[in-house]
Structure 1
């Protein structure tokens, strides 16, 4: 790191890399994107040219082993994460993996062990917990705004994973590839929520496949769907209180995000009109004491140093995650979400599947 910057190589040049990762990294002085890789040569070269990135590769190992790369960011589709992360760890590089870390709990546990044995820093893309509204909500709860938590209720609605999809996304049709409403949206929002209110002590769930087929838009081919479209979870929190979580995909009438956190002293409400590609951060409202209606609770400036970056909030959350990693690396701390957090999410999803199967007998 002769320049003093953390030099990043990005594996994958798709929409999320261009919308989220590249703008986020370019907004941070601590980082320099030095390489990008994509299996299609022309895509790698076009992306490098578009964003003024020095190296373009279409062989991922060339990027991983390049001496200019300090941090390997794996932004490829989920089924490729394990292989690419394993290669980065073997090369002794710090590694970021998009969530999900892998398509199975066992493989994610293996990668955690490998990373810790190698001594490399590891990051997982559970970035919603790093956003200003999420950090402020967590602090309000820790400071006793609601008192002892009694009940937590969250609903999430998104238009993702619709039954009619382009063929380029056909890899996601197979439930074994772990890319559906439960594994993506429930995991992201669940991590954000439980990071604030405490993680589940016990849960039970129902998941439902409400659209029996995927239809490939270009051909009209129908493929059986075994992925969940709707998820409902209830349970108890490890600290106190009960919780419920409902996540709905393939909803064209998007209702976004709604969270109520009630306690012995007050109530917090967190909302957003969208669940992804958010222009604005979540709105926070509170009610306590003798109040009978909610009042807005603006997020203090200290939580949002990137407010004037021009980034959409969904990309800005990525920037806060990368900034946390840079701070961890400098100070020996562990604020950025990492592979341990990923393994926790895998175990929660396993329990959701297990209890849902038992529910239906």
Structure 2
């Protein structure tokens, strides 16, 4: 079977999410072939191609030029969230199959428009909500759906999202304006709560409290030298409670930076027959594999780790998603429709915080 020919947007010679999470997979698979790059300049594309030994790839600096390349079957969009919409819209209008990192767009309105375009142009699509591909998340879902935990009584998830500590490097400044849609709520929490809903089902209703505890952030260089102090409107603390459609109460708390106590991610699911515990070194569980443990309600039962296949590398979850998209791997293909539902949930969270009300997004 001939490989799917890929136009990759956002591969930087200096390092990027694309180079860390996608390129290791593409470099060893025969299901996809990178045939074109889109960067801010043709020269930067050539540098990336040379740096990563991508011989024979075409390099472009305009989305229109890339879309005219008949050799490209699929667009893979791996750039900052505020840029998603303006690049994705013409690609969808051109009828190109497309992958977009999560969040799908900077806001619900943009996500709705992109989803509508994908549907009207019959575009095959994939969104990077790859926590669903993690072995521990898949095992938790299996155990819940098979009834090993019995009826779900409740779940508690706490995480630290790495973002928005007392200092930040210039790279992260684009995340400070809440309207850019790239922040603690949309990214680390968004990935984690998507995994929660994948395992336990959607929220029937929810109530949220958000805070921007650090409205000003010191921007420092890599050596820690202070460069400037800038305003931040993105929230850095989230507390969410709600009831699940399938039953049970859910509580999720996400905080900034890292935990001083070393507990960066903890997720407990409690049922009438037993409980699961998932723990990870980071609240970004789409990247950092959590362990999974189970304890039954039987007398003297002890919490024991469940053995699952540990991801062999950082790009494992992303690779599994790409395999599924090509029709050769396990797990689901997370589409624009799935991402739109999560955008609706996040919009309900913002609405609940603003109005002090219990909200629904379904």
Q: TM-score, length-normalised on structure 1?
A: 0.89
Match of 1:28 in 2: 29
Task: List per-residue Cα deviations over 1:38-74 (Å, max 9, x = no partner).
Answer: 1044432222112232222222322233111111011
Q: Relative to structure 2, which stretch is displaced further, 6-15 or 279-288?
A: 279-288
Instruction: Tell whether the 8 Å contact from 1:13 to 1:43 is kept in structure 2 after alignment.
Output: no
Report how far residue 277 of structure 1 moved: 8.6
Q: Could you tell me how far apart the structure 2 residues matched to 1:247 and 1:359 are?
A: 19
May I ask how many residue pairs the two structures share in their alignment? 346
The match for 1:349 among 342, 346, 354 is 346
Match of 2:278 in 1: 270
- Specify the SS of the correspondent of 1:84: helix
Q: Could you tell me how far apart the structure 2 residues matched to 1:262 and 1:107 are?
A: 37
Q: Could you tell me how far apart the structure 2 residues matched to 1:27 and 1:148 are?
A: 43
- Specify the SS of the correspondent of 1:108: helix
Distance 1:280 1:215, change over 3 A: closer
Match of 1:186 in 2: 189
Q: Does 1:293 align with 2:302?
A: yes
Distance 1:279 1:86, change over 3 A: closer
Instruction: Tell whether the 8 Å contact from 1:35 to 1:48 is kept in structure 2 after alignment.
Output: no
Match of 1:145 in 2: 148
Match of 1:337 in 2: 334
Instruction: Tell whether the 8 Å contact from 1:79 to 1:102 is kept in structure 2 after alignment.
Output: yes
Q: Could you tell me how far apart the structure 2 residues matched to 1:234 and 1:85 are?
A: 34
Q: Relative to structure 2, which stretch is displaced further, 14-23 or 217-226?
A: 217-226
Q: Does 1:71 align with 2:93?
A: no
Q: Moved runs in structure 1, 4+ residues, more than 4 A?
A: 277-280
Q: Could you tell me how far apart the structure 2 residues matched to 1:40 and 1:19 are?
A: 21
Instruction: Tell whether the 8 Å contact from 1:11 to 1:72 is kept in structure 2 after alignment.
Output: yes
- Specify the SS of the correspondent of 2:204: strand
Structure 2 matches for 1:92-131, cutoff 5 A?
Answer: 92-131=95-134
Instruction: Tell whether the 8 Å contact from 1:25 to 1:322 is kept in structure 2 after alignment.
Output: no
Match of 1:45 in 2: 46
Match of 2:249 in 1: 242
Structure 2 matches for 1:218-233, cutoff 5 A?
Answer: 220-233=227-240
- Specify the SS of the correspondent of 1:29: coil
Q: Could you tell me how far apart the structure 1 residues matched to 2:227 and 2:331 are?
A: 48
Q: Could you tell me how far apart the structure 2 residues matched to 1:41 and 1:234 are?
A: 48
Task: List per-residue Cα deviations over 1:119-177 (Å, max 9, x = no partner).
Answer: 11111111111111111111111111101100111111132233422334332221110
Structure 2 matches for 1:6-25, cutoff 5 A?
Answer: 6-14=4-12, 15-25=16-26
Q: Could you tell me how far apart the structure 1 residues matched to 2:184 and 2:18 are?
A: 20
Distance 1:46 1:190, change over 3 A: same
Report how far residue 278 of structure 1 moved: 8.4
Q: Could you tell me how far apart the structure 2 residues matched to 1:25 and 1:200 are?
A: 36
Instruction: Tell whether the 8 Å contact from 2:175 to 2:234 is kept in structure 1 after alignment.
Output: no
Q: Could you tell me how far apart the structure 1 residues matched to 2:287 and 2:355 are?
A: 40
Give the number of the structure whose residues are more often helix, by fraction: 1
Instruction: Tell whether the 8 Å contact from 1:207 to 1:228 is kept in structure 2 after alignment.
Output: yes
Instruction: Tell whether the 8 Å contact from 1:158 to 1:252 is kept in structure 2 after alignment.
Output: no
Match of 2:360 in 1: none
- Specify the SS of the correspondent of 1:9: strand
- Specify the SS of the correspondent of 1:220: strand
Q: TM-score, length-normalised on structure 2?
A: 0.89
Q: Could you tell me how far apart the structure 1 residues matched to 2:118 and 2:35 are?
A: 23
RMSD over aligned Cα, in angstroms? 2.3
Q: Does 1:212 align with 2:215?
A: yes
Instruction: Tell whether the 8 Å contact from 1:209 to 1:228 is kept in structure 2 after alignment.
Output: yes
Q: Relative to structure 2, which stretch is displaced further, 318-327 or 254-263?
A: 254-263
Match of 2:313 in 1: 311
Mark the runs of 5 or more structure 1 residues left unpaired by the alignment: none
Report how far residue 94 of structure 1 moved: 0.4
Report how far residue 83 of structure 1 moved: 1.3
